[in-house]
Structure 1
């Protein structure tokens, strides 16, 4: 038995999943932690991580480090990966040094292709899918993977996500039609440059990332579903459009009051959902399937296979969750 902690340092939030796995490839999740840090806030064209954002992130990491003391250190393996914000940062070297000073080990910066790969591994091991399009919308990037016959055929990482779309195009309070149209045009140009995207026409879209999961949470609140677990939850294109119209019709304070939408996400949810909306329209997909499994799970699954020589076995359902985004609702 080995306990493994995977820290995912994203552009909008930092998350940690602690799991236990066994020699036969089986595993169960012990705990999940999340802090909204908005690391990519204010990076601008110069791509500079801002001092306050770095401070928020390091404070969150200190909390994670403290939480890890509850586990047997002799049997604990800790891995940390960073995505778009750190990947793009012009002051990346300084941040990596600050991370090591805080945590005592190195932070691995993933390429966009590696991030898409781990998303795929996380999804394909937890869904009985054969053909689908995967979209992971983060804070500063979006990863898209085309899956055919359970194999990743094409993958791309785009430098657009909830935070930088919102900062570049959209007003913080009431989003104007003009600003929204500019954001849409920007996204359509990016999608148009992906030569293989036409191969995904009419395929189901599997959605990952905080903004996309928020869509599922809003829907479940509207339907008065008590259990907020969203892995495998389905929405039609019509359902998605109805919820997005509701979000667009409110100002910032109104968005913060929508059940299922964390207050900390109110200023970026319009931009955060745009890649999903536009990809649904572009591919004429009729449904979205939401995944709770993504980068962290993909990394975990790969470690399990490498260390045990076995395929991953589905986990036991029980897991303690410490998720500040969910608790706020």
Structure 2
């Protein structure tokens, strides 16, 4: 029996999933851990990772090491996404991680993140067509699936943390702040020509902010395990209702809201604007939630071989290297 672990170092949280792999190739989930580190916090216009965020991240990685260092025959992959790939002091940060944790982190482009999301979703959800939307702390990945094939993908450099820092100046958010936030997100979507092909398709939602919608809804209806959201479907009218409650509340009220993690309360409004905007933009009638994305995609690539699990070569890479918010 072997072990496989994936660390996903995002802009808001760092997560690790560990599987044991039986001799017949079947994976068995052993553990999932998450820590909120806010790596992208206060990066500012100079786009540098700040010392408090770096220290929080290294401390979390050292705690992860306590777990994976005890595993026999281990293959470990560590991926860093938006905050690290945007950081001007990326090399210095990665060197500190190597020196202090002994971990080699691969910084992946947004389109690679989108590809892993696709592999994780397509191997664990029975969906034929839809728009994968993974809203993180500092980036949002979109993948158009048609007949279970990836047709288009793009990474947009905005997410719950940097949208909050740029637009949310008041608590609760004011109509003016909300309008400016919604307008900037809408303008970016307007520039993605292939989204017209996603009209009326469901959104397949990943990312902590998006998943919060499902957790709040499931708590409302007293689901026994409200966090078990994989495959859960939510109609657009219910999404809008939950979003309205979140927007109306201030931070303290959100911290007490069932299903909403306390450490996400200050960034959840901006974190939900992209998916709520997209619902209207493509006239989707529902969201299908996925708990599986990048880490599970890495697992399936490991199990099946990259050439077999990854998307077709002819799919063109697309990314937005810069995002200038409208004032």
Q: Do they fold alike, i.e. is TM over 0.5?
A: yes
Query: What SS does the corresponding residue of 2:92 show, helix, strand or coil?
Result: helix
- State how far apart, in whole Å, the 1-side matches of 2:298 and 2:278 are: 26
Match of 1:58 in 2: 58
Matches within 5 A, 1:1-329: 1-72=1-72, 75-171=73-169, 173-227=171-225, 228-306=227-305
| 1:22 to partner: Cα distance | 3.2
Match of 1:323 in 2: none
- Report if aligned partners of 1:131, 1:150 keep a CA contact under 8 Å in 2: yes
Alpha-carbon deviations, 1:171-215, whole Å to 9, x = none?
352100000100011001100110100000000110000001111
Q: 1:97 to 1:231 in 2, by over 3 A?
A: same
| 1:78 to partner: Cα distance | 1.3
- State how far apart, in whole Å, the 1-side matches of 2:124 and 2:24 are: 17
| 1:105 to partner: Cα distance | 3.2
Match of 2:316 in 1: none
- State how far apart, in whole Å, the 2-side matches of 1:296 and 1:30 are: 13
- Report if aligned partners of 1:43, 1:50 keep a CA contact under 8 Å in 2: yes
Question: Unpaired runs of 5+ in structure 1?
Answer: 312-329
Alpha-carbon deviations, 1:283-323, whole Å to 9, x = none?
0000000000000100111011129x998xxxxxxxxxxxx
Alpha-carbon deviations, 1:89-124, whole Å to 9, x = none?
000010110111122131100101100000000000
Higher relative contact order (CA 8 A, sep 6+): 1
- State how far apart, in whole Å, the 2-side matches of 1:175 and 1:283 are: 25
| 1:68 to partner: Cα distance | 1.6
- State how far apart, in whole Å, the 1-side matches of 2:48 and 2:308 are: 42
- Report if aligned partners of 1:25, 1:310 keep a CA contact under 8 Å in 2: no
Query: What SS does the corresponding residue of 1:134 show, helix, strand or coil?
Result: strand
- Report if aligned partners of 1:10, 1:84 keep a CA contact under 8 Å in 2: yes
- State how far apart, in whole Å, the 1-side matches of 2:160 and 2:25 are: 35
- State how far apart, in whole Å, the 2-side matches of 1:310 and 1:12 are: 31
- State how far apart, in whole Å, the 1-side matches of 2:308 and 2:237 are: 41
| 1:67 to partner: Cα distance | 1.5
| 1:129 to partner: Cα distance | 1.1
Q: 1:109 to 1:239 in 2, by over 3 A?
A: same
- State how far apart, in whole Å, the 2-side matches of 1:110 and 1:219 are: 33
Q: State the number of aligned residues.
A: 308
Q: 1:174 to 1:160 in 2, by over 3 A?
A: same
| 1:28 to partner: Cα distance | 1.3
- State how far apart, in whole Å, the 1-side matches of 2:308 and 2:41 are: 41
Question: Cα RMSD over matched residues?
Answer: 1.4
TM-score, normalised by the number of residues in structure 2: 0.92
- Report if aligned partners of 1:81, 1:109 keep a CA contact under 8 Å in 2: yes
Question: Unpaired runs of 5+ in structure 2?
Answer: 310-327
